Chain A
């Protein structure tokens, strides 16, 4: 266990990098996921088709494949960015499919009467979605969305393996392999690091859930 106290600075750096990946990926994935969910419930057939295709592709493709594509296929097209950017975008795109489905289930849980009422007072589709449906939908999607986000935090370890470097999991590899520390305590430290991120995230979710809860 000495390895934890001796290398806490490395672990802290790892946690920080992981947090950065998750923050940017989380922000991006919420935006993209919401937009795609909007497409999936849109009255326009091409948008619905686009949304369905998006979800089908990213939900059924293993994350490693998506990240591989980002890191090795995109540069061959002449688009260059750092691996941090590629990794974060890849993680966000992959997660967006799950975010989209969570949001869509929330949208579907709002009674159709709400949408009809909104339309009858003259609101357009986007206005209906933004002002009437989504605020109500959000309340019921906090738990599933939270699970998706926590899964994303853990998946960030895979993004770390695609050149990002310095994230929590990679820190573990560095300690155990390059510096020859025994692997079990090192990995316990890594697990602890992820818990330090995910448990407060879970508590925060519980808090948000109670805050937005409505009696039906």
Chain B
């Protein structure tokens, strides 16, 4: 009798555990990507492997409003997340079978190289240096570096206007924007933090006069604050094509990701992904940029 009770308790406990493990599935704020039923792939390809496995690990940011943000309930939201779900969907993997691995900027190449993640969708700008270590599919979005200032600031109108001012500019350690802004302001006027939210704090404290990074990220910062505290200048001075990072040299998988993006653009799920996420604070709806060739 006693033993029976114990077994029952054990079963109950493990059920709870299982349920717990299944929870926390993601949906990108009302967006759901179409899931292919029984897609077939050539044996031995990366796609066949993931499809058979029925699960994929995607690296994304979890603190990036509008692109990759984990809510308090554990749900992932954002445009990057939606793109990840679109690609996984083409592999026949539903959104709740995606494992989201938090991937901060500095770990993106490393995680792809050591296999911690299968791919990275994390506001990841394609550039040659990075392409030496990983391959890129896409781009799926064309961002550009811009400036965010206080609502009442009219003197900063773009990067050029920084040259002759004494404005301090904030950006994140080790980011591409922090490198590019060095063309306009010298080291002494550059303030670097480990996160853009600290830059936003510095901006509201008046310690810096502008925050610079991709417009996509700035939009997220604006959306997080009270109405009318900050604004994005809207004068981009770079092209930041966001790509999907995949292991180096996997051309087949790259082609597949590109094809998935094309399909998504055609069937409207790309536009829907945008409108349910970043589109909420941006007036424009982007077209899928011209995809690069995989080689």
Contact = CB atoms under 8 A, between A and B. Distances in A.
Interface of A: 71-72, 75-76, 80, 83, 161-163, 165-166, 170, 173-174, 176-183
A174 B201 contact: no
Contacts, number: 66
B176 A178 contact: yes
Contacts of B132: 180
19 contacts: A72-B198, A72-B201, A75-B202, A80-B206, A161-B194, A163-B198, A163-B202, A165-B190, A173-B174, A174-B179, A176-B174, A177-B105, A177-B175, A179-B129, A180-B109, A180-B127, A180-B129, A180-B132, A183-B110
A178 B179 CA distance: 7
B248 interface: no
B201 A179 contact: no
B151 to A, nearest CB: 19
B133 A180 contact: yes
Contact of B193 (A162, A181, A182): A162
Interface residues of B, number: 28
A184 B207 CA distance: 34
B187 A75 contact: no
The 5 closest A-B pairs by CB, nearest first: A177-B174, A180-B129, A173-B174, A75-B205, A165-B192
Contact of A161 (B110, B173, B187): B173
Contacts of B191: 83, 163, 165
A174 B175 CA distance: 7
Contacts of B176: 178
Interface in B128-177: 129-130, 132-133, 170, 173-176
A63 to B, nearest CB: 14
B133 A163 contact: no
Contacts of B64: none
A64 to B, nearest CB: 11
Contacts of A176: 106, 174
B139 to A, nearest CB: 17
B258 interface: no
Nearest to B194: A161
Decide if the interface of chain A is mainly helix, strand, loop or mixed: helix
Contacts of B106: 173, 176-177, 183
A162 to B, nearest CB: 7
A73 B201 CA distance: 10
A38 to B, nearest CB: 34
B178 interface: yes
A170 B206 contact: no
A174 B178 contact: yes
A161 B174 CA distance: 11
Nearest to B132: A180
Contacts of B187: 165-166
B206 to A, nearest CB: 7
Nearest to A74: B205
B289 to A, nearest CB: 21
Nearest to A68: B198
Nearest to A179: B129
Contacts of B206: 75, 80
Nearest to B177: A178
Contacts of B205: 72, 75-76
Interface string B79-118: 0000000000000000000000000011001100000000
Contact of A178 (B133, B174, B190): B174
B192 A182 contact: no
B118 to A, nearest CB: 20
A179 B207 contact: no
A182 B173 CA distance: 16
Contacts of A173: 106, 173-174
A163 B127 contact: no
A177 B207 contact: no
Nearest to A169: B173
Contacts of A163: 170, 191-193, 198, 202, 207
A75 B207 contact: yes
Contacts of B175: 177-178
A83 B207 contact: yes
A76 B190 CA distance: 20
A166 B190 CA distance: 9
Contacts of A72: 198, 201-202, 205
